Amino acid sequence: MALLEVDSVSKTWPGAREPVLDSVSFSVEGGGFAVVQGPNGAGKTTLMRIIAGLLDADRGALRISGVESPARRRDFQRQVGMASAGNTGLYARLSAVKNLAFATRIALLERGRRQAAVRESVERFGLGAFAFRRVDRLSMGRRQRVRLALAFLHEPAIVLLDEPATSLDDDGQAVLAEAISRQTGDGGGVVWFGPQGERRPREPDLTLWIAQGALGRR
């Protein structure tokens, strides 16, 4: 059984004639690193949002480790981590550590695991020097590290990354590469969404090309 199964997922925006995603199917095995590429507006972010649970598909099925969404949404969401494109999604008035601590609680981690998860994330993503500083006082690169830490924080089975290297310096890129290696090394999966030609930390196991709502392999 594949770790992530995207099965014939279709989506048409209300009022649109053409579907933004037309029967898209692919799967990611445990330990797999997949890349979904395509031109701007091709539907990459829509596909990622559907997998993440922000958007419902009109048709098709989604499963992670056999858990189907939306039928078992809570169990499904436990297994997904996401870093969307851009630099939003952080509580500006809270420190990096408080952002992480809050995320552990809405991820419904057991009390005993929460502190360890935060501590480990701080270490893994090199947040130590600014962990207790308010997020709105951090540089874009440092904010991006916090955002990435949030995606991996609760040890999800699948991590979805939309243009995750944005604003990262060489050291930040190395941290991201290490996080991906560790995720796949532990049997999890990573799906990287981004435009063609984007620098990535390693060669993917699966490269998918999305254009005009359809998905092809490369």
Contact pattern from residue 8 through residue 37 relative to another protein, giving x for each residue in contact according to CB under 8 A and a dash for the rest: ---x-xx-----------------------
For residue 147, give the nearest of 157, 60, 158, 159 by alpha carbon.
159
Q: How far is the CB of 81 from another protein (least distance, A)?
A: 8
Task: Using CB under 8 A, pick the residue from 37, 46, 144, 183 that binds another protein.
Answer: 46
Decide: is 49 part of the binding site for another protein (CB under 8 A).
yes
Decide: is 88 part of the binding site for another protein (CB under 8 A).
yes
Give whichever of 56 and 186 is closer to another protein, judged by the CB atom.
56
Q: How far is the CB of 54 from another protein (least distance, A)?
A: 6
Decide: is 67 part of the binding site for another protein (CB under 8 A).
no
Which DSSP string do the residues of 89-112 spell out, in sequence order?
-S-TTSBHHHHHHHHHHHTT--HH
Decide: is 111 part of the binding site for another protein (CB under 8 A).
yes
Residues that bind another protein (rule: CB under 8 A) add up to a total of 38
Decide: is 218 part of the binding site for another protein (CB under 8 A).
no
**Two tokens at 105?**
């609680």
The answer to whether 8 and 59 are in contact (CB under 8 A) is: yes
Which residues make beta-bridge pairs with 160? 82, 191
Residues 113, 115, 120: CA angle, nearest 5 degrees: 90
Sheet containing strand 59-64, strands side by side: 21-28, 4-11, 59-64, 67-69
In this structure, what DSSP letter does residue 117 have? H
Q: What part of residues 168-187 is at the interface with another protein (CB under 8 A)?
A: none
* Site residues, another protein (CB under 8 A): 11, 13-14, 46, 49, 52-56, 73-75, 77-78, 80, 82, 84, 86, 88-94, 98, 102-103, 105-111, 134, 150
